Amino acid sequence: MGDTRDGWGKLQVLMGVVSALGSVAIPVVLFVVGNRIADRQRLAAERQLQADRVERMLAHLASEKANEKKLAVRVLEFFVSEEEFPRELLPALVEIASSDAKEDVSATASAVLQRVAQSDNAQAASEAKRGLSSLPPRINLHAPASQGRRTESALSGLSHSDVVVAPQDTVLDPPAQTQLRYYRKEDAVQARQMVQRLADSGIKAQPIDLSQSVGQQSIRPQSYDLVIGKDSPP
- CATH number, domain with residue 19: 1.25.40
Of residues 146, 167, 170, 144, the one with CA closest to residue 155? 167
Q: What is the pTM of this model?
A: 0.73
Q: What is the pLDDT of residues 128-176, one digit of tens each?
A: 999 999 999 999 999 998 887 888 888 988 888 889 999 998 888 999 9
- Reported as a pLDDT band with limits 50, 70 and 90, residue 13 is very low
For 191-195, what is the mean pLDDT? 96
* pLDDT value for 121: 87
For residue 52, the surrounding DSSP H or E stretch is: helix 2-61
Q: What residue numbers bound the domain in which 198 lies?
A: 138-227
Closest CA to 94 of 76, 81, 67: 76
pLDDT per residue as tens digits for the range 214-234: 876 778 999 999 999 998 876
Q: Report if residue 200 sits inside a domain.
A: yes
**What are the tens digits of pLDDT across the range 56-102?**
877 878 888 888 888 888 888 888 888 888 888 899 999 999 989 99
Q: Are residues 196 and 152 in the same domain?
A: yes
CATH of the domain at 160: 3.30.70
Please report whether residue 168 resides in a domain.
Answer: yes
Which own/partner pairs from 48-52 qualify as long-range (CB within 8 Å, at least 24 positions apart)? 50/86
Q: Which of 135, 161, 195 is the endpoint of a domain?
A: 135
Could you give the 3-state DSSP secondary structure of residue 176? coil
The answer to whether residue 177 scores a pLDDT higher than 50 is yes
Cα–Cα nearest to 186, from 217, 159, 220: 220
Structural domains of the chain, count? 2
Sign of the C-alpha dihedral, residues 20, 24, 27, 30?
negative
